[in-house]
Amino acid sequence: MLNSLGQTVVGDDETVDLQAEFEASSIDDVFDKLDRDLVGLVPVKTRIREIAALLLVDRLRRKFGISAETPTLHMNFTGNPGTGKTTVALRMAEILHRLGYVREGHLVSVTRDDLVGQYVGHTAPKTREVIKRAMGGVLFIDEAYYLYKPENERDYGQESIEILLQCMENNRDDLVVILAGYKDKMDRFFNSNPGMRSRVAHHLDFPDYSSTELKSIAEIMLAGQNYRLSEGAAAALEEYIPLRMKLPHFSNARSIRNALDRARLRQANRLFAGRSEKLTRLDLITIEEADIRGSRVFVEGKLDGDPVDGAVP
C-alpha cells in the first residue's frame, strides 16, 4: 500500500521479520569485527548493540509508515588514550551505513587544528570544509574540549563550535558527530556549552584495560604481524605490563603497541648480531625473553625513550 507521500509501506495487518532484517543488514559482521579488534570494553560494546537495535527497529517502523524524527545519534566518547575510541567510531560508521542512516559510512578524524583558524575569517571556511568532507559519514573530533578556550577572548574556537552546532541540528540525517577526550575535560566542555550537550544523545565511557586484557591485546597485535612470544617472553611481558602501567605517559593499548615495536627492534638486532648463523622461520617470527627484558622498565624503572620525560611507549 502507499502512504500520503506515495511511498510503499507495509499494511497494518502484515508482518515483518526482524531477524531477517538483521541478517540482511550484515551488521553482525561489524559486531564480530569489534570483538576481534577490541579486547574487553563490554559496556561499550553493549551500548553499540543497543544503538544498532534502536536503528534497526526504527527502520522497520518506517516500513509501516510509522513516522518519527530521525534519532539523535551524535555521541561523546570519553576515556584515556589507547582505549579504542577511534576503532569504535570506525565500526559505528559501518553500522550507520549498513542501516541506511548515512550515505557513505566513512570516518573523518580531526582535531582543533583542522577546524580553527589563526586569524579573522579563517575558521568558518576551515570548519565548513571539514564538515563537507564528513557529510554522509561520521566526523570524529578528538580532544574536542580544545575548541573552547574562554580564557582567550581572541580565540576563534567558539565560531567553529557554533557552525558545528548548526550542522549537527540541520544535517543529523546525513552526518553523525562523535566528540572524544578525557572525561573530566569533556564534562567541563559540556557544562560550558549547553547547546552541544543538548545535541549529544549517547555518552560512552571507555575504561582503562586491565593488565590481563593488555596481555591479550599484545598477543593479538603480534599475531596480526606474524610474530609470536616464546614461553619466556610471554612470562616477561606479564611482568612488564604492570610495571609500565605505573609509569608516566601510559596510553593503554598504544603503549603496548610501542613496547612491542621496540621488542621487534631488539629481536632484529639480536638476529643481525648473529648473522653468521642460518635462520629458520621460527627464528624470524619469535620474540624471545631477552627482547622483552631489554626494556629499561626492568633495569631502571624508566621508559625506553628519554630518561627524563619519556617517550609514549
Q: Give 65-116 pLDDT, tens digit per residue.
A: 787 777 889 999 999 999 999 999 999 999 999 998 899 999 999 999 999 9
Q: What is the DSSP letter of 21?
A: H
Distance CA 142, CA 81 (A): 10
The DSSP bridge pattern shows strands 228-229 and 286-287 to be parallel
Distance CA 109, CA 254 (A): 17
Residue 147 has pLDDT above 60, yes or no: yes
Distance CA 174, CA 163 (A): 16
- pLDDT (0 to 100) of residue 304: 61
Residue 7 has pLDDT above 60, yes or no: no
- pLDDT (0 to 100) of residue 265: 97
Tell me if the pTM is above 0.95: no
How much is the average pLDDT of 148-159?
Answer: 84
The 3-state DSSP class for residue 305 equals coil
Q: Which residue has the higher pLDDT, 28 or 71?
A: 28
How much is the average pLDDT of 47-76?
Answer: 86
> Which CATH number is associated with domain 211-299?
1.10.8.60
The residue extents of the domains of the chain are: 18-205, 211-299
The 3-state DSSP class for residue 201 equals coil
Distance CA 220, CA 144 (A): 30
In 32-128, the DSSP E strands lie at 75-79, 107-110
Residue 242 has pLDDT above 50, yes or no: yes
How much is the average pLDDT of 20-27?
Answer: 85
Is 164 within 8 Å of 131 (Cβ atoms)? yes
* Residue 188 to residues 42, 183, 197, Cα–Cα distance (Å): 26, 9, 11
CB within 8 A of 139, min separation 6: which ones? 108, 110, 130, 131, 175, 176, 177, 178
The domains spanning 18-205 and 211-299 adopt the same CATH topology: no
Distance CA 155, CA 162 (A): 13
Q: What is the mean pLDDT of the chain?
A: 89
Range in 36-45, 52-61, 124-133, 266-275 with the lowest mean pLDDT: 52-61
Residue 10 has pLDDT above 60, yes or no: no
Distance CA 170, CA 156 (A): 22
* Residue 56 to residues 1, 61, 72, 97, 133, Cα–Cα distance (Å): 22, 9, 14, 12, 26
Is 307 within 8 Å of 265 (Cβ atoms)? no
18-205: CATH, from 3.40.50.300, 3.40.50.460, 3.40.50.11540, 3.90.550.10: 3.40.50.300
Stated as kind and residue range, the H or E segment containing 179 is strand 176-181
CB within 8 A of 102, min separation 6: which ones? 93, 96, 136, 137, 138, 174, 175, 176
Range in 37-41, 201-205, 232-236 with the lowest mean pLDDT: 37-41
